[in-house]
Amino acid sequence: MAFIIWIGTDIASQTLFSPHRNSLSGHLDLIRKTGCNILLHSSAFPVDHIVETHKLRSFIVPELDIVFDETSANPYPFLKTWEGAHNDPCMVIHISGSTSPPEPVVQPRSTLSGPDAHHILSPMDGQELIYTQVFGRAQRIFNALSIFHCVGLALGICHVVFAGKTVVYGPPGLISPKYLTRFSSMRTLTVQVAFPRPCNRSPKCRK
């Protein structure tokens, strides 16, 4: 997803991230509200009904072995300055839609500058800060939040780009306490980020 955000930025486009757990009507409603005309999807995701309804151009996102191909490619320069680009739309996520259809939320490029600014903060009243001291000591972070979730997406991009960390994602969707317990036992993972409910149900995570 980080690749898609950067590519969209280079061509002055914004990307809607619609979770695979959305219903068909949820996908279609978000596409209609945002005016999307291109659909990027994995090879395993069924898109026929979406494409037929909105007449979208669809493309399959390359697998990792293609993305990491060492063949050289021509650079695609981004010529805008921070002053000229920081308020431009970057990505579109959406509210949960638990009681109504999901509503899109447009995030500007400056959204990703927030986590970067945490690096200049000092401890407050003797208390360590999560982004600077706690995450600063970690080299490999397990991110149990969905990559389609705003925080999950920001952590996955910003810890890698701004802090040089390795971010490990679990299986798609809401992670179970069983998986949290399993990942908590891995010595190579020094920090976990998770929603409170599954974390509270995992004995190792609570520790």
Q: Show me where the domains of the chain are located.
A: 1-109, 121-207
Topology of domain 1-109, CATH: Rossmann fold (3.40.50)
Cβ(145)–Cβ(154) below 8 Å: no
Query: pLDDT for 120-160, tens place per residue?
Result: 777 778 777 777 777 777 778 888 777 666 777 777 777 77
**Given this model, what pLDDT does residue 161 score?**
77
**Given this model, what pLDDT does residue 70 score?**
79
Report the mean per-residue pLDDT for the chain: 77
Residues of the chain under the 50 pLDDT cut:
206
C-alpha 169 chain-centroid distance: 10
H, E, C per residue of 22-46: CCHHHHHHHHHHHCCCEEEECCCCC
DSSP 115-148: HHHGGGPPPBTTBPPIIIIIHHH-SEEEE-S-TT
pTM (2 decimals)?
0.70
**Given this model, what pLDDT does residue 199 score?**
65
